[in-house]
Structure 1
């Protein structure tokens, strides 16, 4: 650091130096991969008193439902969340407060280092007939539509996502709360389902590998894809925020989709160009793991989302979202989302795990698929 640097700039440099780990001296194991998939999911108890709700509108998968026992038309759809059971978040640190006109230098440097580590992770070979497997901790949000949310206890979730280029109707399988639930394109009874091709709404490994690796070109591509999706759903202009929508989309891509190293690095470098991205010096995922975070405030929804990374290895750990002001979902500081990725891998069949050779023979739950037809995914 230049000895002549003083004042706020010097303080910022010192704070960043304290927060960031030393550069990794070896490549990370295959588990260091990123991810997404917006699984629109809803589980309603038979007594009708419990309903899932989503804390924010998600950009992806507007026409896909997860057929599950108790699925009801007109009920609130939810991207399943993950949380430790804690219902409030700690007060944000000075490093993570407020949306800025441009991304602060500290966040840009952190994301650049994360990108460098991600680029060194192992390249995967994934064929169209394989599945991406992800094990994570998940929870639901309970509450009435329009009312305060309450986070349930964390539960383990496993997902198997097909890597076929498509279009496909049967997209994979979810195992949670003791049930196997097929992921299928959902349409009203009697109508023919139209499958999704690989793309932003169904990001396969090979599709992700085809994305531009130049950060500026990647941002332009994401903007185009997001705008096309919003136009197809007639999303009002007042509900659009290019910077926040891009940040949310990248966050979705970090969860349940195995990420090619070069694409991961490009996504992180692209995120560094998003205005308002800040550093969260201490964030905790659903497994209780502390890490350093990359955060952004959503002024529309009144919440802050943080991507959490291991402070030493810079491995992606999970995500958390909490309210930064009082809203209909709860009081300021209340958690609405907390997740933790525990394992990722590539397998050859549904229900197979990276550590096993053969899939389970247990039959899936008998919930009626949203297509009105019996499931054939298992």
Structure 2
């Protein structure tokens, strides 16, 4: 490798050096710093960026059918997992701040660093009779579909997700706005109840741990799972886009699960291979915490979503989505939704909280 970069390439190199936290010597094995430098220089020296695929509208893929009240409470999640690119940024406001996103080459370097940190986190022991508990803040669009955005919240949300391999009919419980809403599998009239097994739409800790840890193998596995799910839902082929669907799926897996370290690392490494993924230098979650975002633009839908990470520890904080052009939902820069994960834990029963378990 060489250091004879100049002009835009040198500027990009210096910007990435500023954005990425300085790695701690005691946390990285010998040669790891050289690896990061080589990775960065190799990406900068590439002659062309990976092509950006044609995105499709964000399709909601709920794992279960909820009662009307449950759908209302869960509505804040409808748009929190889409995308981000490198050519647009939200207008500065009290709710959202932004700066121009860097190129996809910078996202690969950042995701490699995030994966390295995630892999060192503690492994959890989760039994099939337990529940994964996640407490978060959620702000979402309370307006009509396709109409002007009416941002709600933020309000606190708690979920308890069953860890049985399945199939199960009772998948968990949501607590939000003072109500407890069971997450149950919908059963059409006259049909026999069929439970939901662990999988992409009900990602238990054990199922997540079973996923390939090689990024390329993981991308193939996710592609198979996504296609199977879309076929089951009769999703039109014209509304499918491999790259966008994969980005969305990884984001959904990060949201309200407890992630095995090796799986988390592999997911971040896999995300780095998705065309169009870039860095959002200053992203703010629903708790007001500033961080660095990994994002992708859904140009057909007209919005960008970033997964937000602490810029020092690289811990996952939450997500935000905002419009990247003027649409019927509002002006460019309008915030659509934002989340903030406050707590993750394993508990023994529904409505049980980590403090009571301890």
- Could you say which TM-score interval applies, normalised by the shorter chain? 0.7 to 0.9
Structure 1: gaps (5+ residues):
28-54, 97-103, 359-378
Matched, 1:22 2:22: yes
Matched, 1:275 2:275: yes
C-alpha distance after superposition, 1:80-101 (max 9, x if no partner): 678xxx78644541426xxxxx
Q: How does 1:150-189 map to 2 (within 5 A)?
A: 150-189=150-189
Matched, 1:314 2:314: yes
Q: Which residue of 2 aligns with 1:364?
A: none
Q: Which residue of 2 aligns with 1:50?
A: none
CA shift in 2, pair 1:56/1:151, >3 Å: farther
C-alpha distance after superposition, 1:99-125 (max 9, x if no partner): xxxxx2211010000000000000001
2:160 is paired with a residue whose SS is strand
CA contact (8 A) 1:81 1:139 kept: no
Give the deviation of 1:3 after TM superposition.
3.5
Matched, 1:93 2:100: yes
C-alpha distance after superposition, 1:167-199 (max 9, x if no partner): 000011111111111110123455433110000
Q: Which residue of 2 aligns with 1:367?
A: none
CA shift in 2, pair 1:309/1:257, >3 Å: same
Matched, 1:205 2:205: yes
1:229 is paired with a residue whose SS is helix
C-alpha distance after superposition, 1:199-254 (max 9, x if no partner): 00100000000000000000000111111111222212221111111001100011
Compare the two structures and name the one with the higher helix fraction.
2
Inter-partner Cα distance in structure 2 for 1:267 and 1:70: 29
Q: Which residue of 1 aligns with 2:348?
A: 348
Matched, 1:116 2:121: no
Normalising by the residue count of structure 1, what TM-score does the alignment of the two structures yield? 0.78
Q: Which residue of 2 aligns with 1:45?
A: none
1:95 is paired with a residue whose SS is coil
Q: How does 1:1-378 map to 2 (within 5 A)?
A: 2-24=2-24, 56-61=58-63, 64-67=64-67, 69=69, 79=77, 89-95=96-102, 104-357=104-357
Q: Which residue of 2 aligns with 1:34?
A: none
CA contact (8 A) 1:87 1:150 kept: no
Inter-partner Cα distance in structure 2 for 1:11 and 1:81: 33
Inter-partner Cα distance in structure 1 for 2:156 and 2:76: 17
Q: Which residue of 2 aligns with 1:32?
A: none
Q: C-alpha root-mean-square deviation of aligned residues, in Å?
A: 2.3
Q: How many pairs are equivalent?
A: 316
C-alpha distance after superposition, 1:282-304 (max 9, x if no partner): 00000000001111001121111
CA contact (8 A) 1:165 1:198 kept: yes
Inter-partner Cα distance in structure 2 for 1:282 and 1:79: 22
CA shift in 2, pair 1:88/1:290, >3 Å: closer
Give the deviation of 1:60 after TM superposition.
4.6
Inter-partner Cα distance in structure 2 for 1:60 and 1:68: 13
Inter-partner Cα distance in structure 2 for 1:14 and 1:119: 26
Inter-partner Cα distance in structure 2 for 1:210 and 1:3: 41
Normalising by the residue count of structure 2, what TM-score does the alignment of the two structures yield? 0.82
2:357 is paired with a residue whose SS is coil
CA contact (8 A) 1:81 1:339 kept: no
CA shift in 2, pair 1:10/1:140, >3 Å: closer
Structure 2: gaps (5+ residues):
28-56, 81-92
CA shift in 2, pair 1:68/1:94, >3 Å: closer
Give the deviation of 1:157 after TM superposition.
0.6
Give the deviation of 1:308 after TM superposition.
0.3
CA contact (8 A) 1:107 1:277 kept: yes
2:288 is paired with a residue whose SS is coil
Inter-partner Cα distance in structure 2 for 1:20 and 1:187: 48
C-alpha distance after superposition, 1:7-35 (max 9, x if no partner): 222111111000000124677xxxxxxxx
